[in-house]
Chain A
Amino acid sequence: MRDSDNFAETVMMDAQPPAPPHRPQTLDIRFTGSGSEYFRIWIVNLLLTLVTLTLYLPFARARRMAYFQNNTLVGGDPLGFHADPWKMFRGYLLVLVLGLGYWAVSNFMPAFSWVALVVFMGLWPLLWRSSLQFRLRNTSWRGVRLSFVGDIPSAYLSMLPMFLPALAFVVLLPEPVEGEAVAEESARYAAAVVGAVVLVFVLLLPWLWARIKRYQHGGYTFAQERTELTVGVGRFYGLFFKILGVALVVMLVVGSVMGAAFGVMMLMGMTNWAELGRGGGAVAGLLAAVAFGVVVLMVYMLMPLVVGSYTTSRLQNLLWSHTRSPKIQFRSDLRLGPLFRVGLVNWLLIALTLGLYWPFAKVRLARVKLEAMALVVQGDVDEWVADAQPAGRGVLGDAAGDFFGVDMGL
């Protein structure tokens, strides 16, 4: 630092006075975004995106991300978002060209779609990494940029096993037999291969999951601090089987409710038939339709809501409670109950308002997820110093990340 500091000024400016050295300090996370304001941003963004035939998309995206990050307060100070929308625009154009190429190949030349797939697989880890880099580099806290320092070989090593099943299918499956006589034996062999590959993949999924998350959470840096994920593969397997268990329980509950409903219906249908003749059949039919609707609603709403909320909360807690650097320790205590309630209310209101509640829902969900987190910091943050950082690369990755749905785990 070139100049002497005015200590009194600093104290006056900061919401909290710096903690005495060597005492851990907890920085709470608060989210101050508002649903009604995000609604206005969303509508205007949507109109501009539509009338520009999606060319406005990167600008809309920059505004959205800035809104969410600026309203995320860590220890009272907001996160900054600094990406240049014009750079994101260039990345968007590139991804648009790639996407159109992929679309054209898979629609017009389906025989060559495997080439497009291989190119995509080869590029994907690279895009993923540069997307993370771009996002982190353009995020700041107290004026200091975050960064992502995971290297390219590790990105490939942690991501490529995801594509193993596709490879296994290509290598192990026989060429489809032309003509009418598909030998029964080869069909059985193909079914066995598919079954085995899927089973092995499902069993390996937690391991793949752990690899990817370890790479991601092992590359975040702030000033001199670099995070690591200190959780073993075993915990991922544990969580995986718990999620399977929850899904099974929900299915059992839905199944028994369905069974009970059918039982009641049949009983009523029979008594009505006996008493009312043909008219009762109509009543039973109506009841059947209602019961069927309820069951479909339960399967489509309850299943993703319960299992999804459970997965989201437990995964966030597992990941962020075990993400730490020498002086920073993250905490996450996202409970299933509040998350489930918010999810339920969100979906009901989205359905009732024909989707207009969507931005409100997004803000509410972000609040629940973010405010369940906190950071514990050792020592005085003011003393930390960041390295000067190169800027400007990784635009393509960001656009691709959005295109294919990759995001920071927050």
Chain B
Amino acid sequence: MEAGASGVIRTQWFDGRSPRGRSVTLRVQGDELLLRTHDGLVEHHYPLSGVRWPERRSHGQRQTGLPDGGLIQHASAAEWDAWFQASGLREGAVVGWMQSWRATFAAMAGTVVFLAAAWVWGVPWLSTTLARLVPQSLENQIGEQSLAQLDRLFLEPSQLPAARQEALRQRFARVVETAHPEGDAPAWQLAFHQSGVLGANAFALPGGSIVLTDELVELLDDQPDALVGVLAHELGHVQHRHGLDLMVRASLVSALVGVVLGDASGFLATVPATLATQSYSRDAEREADAHAAQMLHASGIHPAVMAIFFERMLMEANGPDKVSGQPVDARDDETGAGVSLPIAISSHPDHAERIRFFREWQAPGPR
């Protein structure tokens, strides 16, 4: 079993029908592989293009698949590789890459860079693009279905008088018209519901349905401007199609995590997926806040009214005792950190940061 000087190798051949191995010699002749038993009774010519060569590795034997289902099996890898090279045969680029530690570390760095780029640009761009491709009718349908589901689980009919509902709807419609004088506002519908489970809350669904709970209306009974601000925030979600966008993002992230972790445990895979989704939804909240501030400003309301909303929500969450002993001050970074605000999703950015955003909001100067 040694490579001859003239490019001949003695090796072991299996014909594919019997498990009995036989000693043969191999030689590359032009664009053919020549196989021959020692007694010369069997001789095969195979076109080189039909032969499946083994990939070079440091461990394991070399197995070569022949076009007729036969197999060449060579125990000494070094011997085989020497013959392979001496015969003028070429291996794939990826094979050499995998045998070099330097190339492997370069690939590792490349993987990290790719994942970082996918996180920062790839996933947001792809999901926004895909969300835009979804037709409005389908989006409405998705919204209706999730509303029906929420309705079954959490929502009860509103106890607010119809006149009050209508007044709020008119008020918000005027603000939307003022803020979007060209009529470029997304389509929206406002629904009122009572919900013991959700408490004071508001959320937007794909397709433009905005739900406002009676509890929130009562909480901001004397602050209709803040209520309008909350609605403007939800309209921001509708405008940016955040519902669909986040749905696509969650799927993309879990697909990405699945590729990286492969067959690793399912539990491990959920952790990065959850973290990524939360980070993306915080970005969405910031975008919706910016939308709300602009709408309020366009209607001549200072966005600082939103601070009242946050403070009251905080009071709801902490109970009046705590808040009275520790007055809420938006300029204090530490105040009530970690309390999540329940508008729409529990992953809103730190509320102190959001209060500061609304208080310190400045109208963009003319460009």
Contacts and interface: CB of A to CB of B under 8 A. Distances in A.
Contacts of B141: 108-109
Interface string A243-285: 0000000000000000000000000000000000000000000
B22 A6 contact: yes
Nearest to B14: A143
A66 interface: yes
B73 interface: yes
Nearest to B142: A108
Contact of A384 (B19, B101, B260): B19
Interface string A32-50: 1110010111011011111
B38 interface: yes
Contacts of A184: none
Contact of A70 (B21, B42, B61, B259): B61
Indicate the member of B110, B156, B255 with the most A CB atoms within 10 Å: B110
Report the contact-size class of chain A (Cβ under 8 Å from the partner): 35 or more
Interface stretch (A77-85, A125-133, A154-162): A77-85
B38 A6 contact: yes
Given A9-B23, A40-B99, A358 B264 contact: yes
Contact of B20 (A10, A54, A109, A111): A10
A226 interface: no
Nearest to B266: A405
B23 A13 contact: yes
Nearest to B75: A15
Interface string A349-370: 0000001001000000000000
A77 B37 contact: no
A12 interface: yes
B332 interface: no
A50 B60 contact: no
Interface string B68-82: 011101010000000
A108 B52 CA distance: 45
A44 B97 contact: yes
A40 B55 CA distance: 13
B107 A44 contact: yes
Interface string B7-46: 0000011111111111100000000000001110110000
Contacts of B134: 108
Interface string A160-186: 000000000000000010101000000
A104 to B, nearest CB: 10
Nearest to B248: A107
A44 B21 contact: no
A4 B99 CA distance: 42
Interface residues of B, number: 65
B51 to A, nearest CB: 12
Interface string A303-322: 01000000000000000000
Contacts of B259: 46, 49-50, 54, 57
B358 to A, nearest CB: 34
Contacts of A1: 18
A6 B37 contact: yes
Indicate the member of A40, A50, A391 with the most B CB atoms within 10 Å: A40
A13 B94 contact: no
Contact of B12 (A13, A41, A386): A13
Contacts of B1: 13
Nearest to A363: B59
Interface string A389-405: 00100000000000001
Contact of B21 (A33, A109, A142, A383): A142
Given A4-B39, A40-B101, A82-B52, A46 B15 contact: no
A6 B39 contact: yes
Nearest to B10: A13
Contacts of B20: 5, 10, 142, 381-383
A47 B37 contact: no
Nearest to B20: A382
11 contacts: A9-B22, A15-B75, A43-B111, A46-B260, A50-B115, A57-B259, A63-B55, A140-B16, A300-B267, A304-B265, A384-B18
Interface of A: 1-6, 9-10, 12-15, 32-34, 37, 39-41, 43-44, 46-51, 54, 57, 63, 66-67, 70-71, 77-78, 80, 82, 103, 107-111, 140-145, 176, 178, 180, 223, 300, 304, 355, 358, 381-386, 388, 391, 405
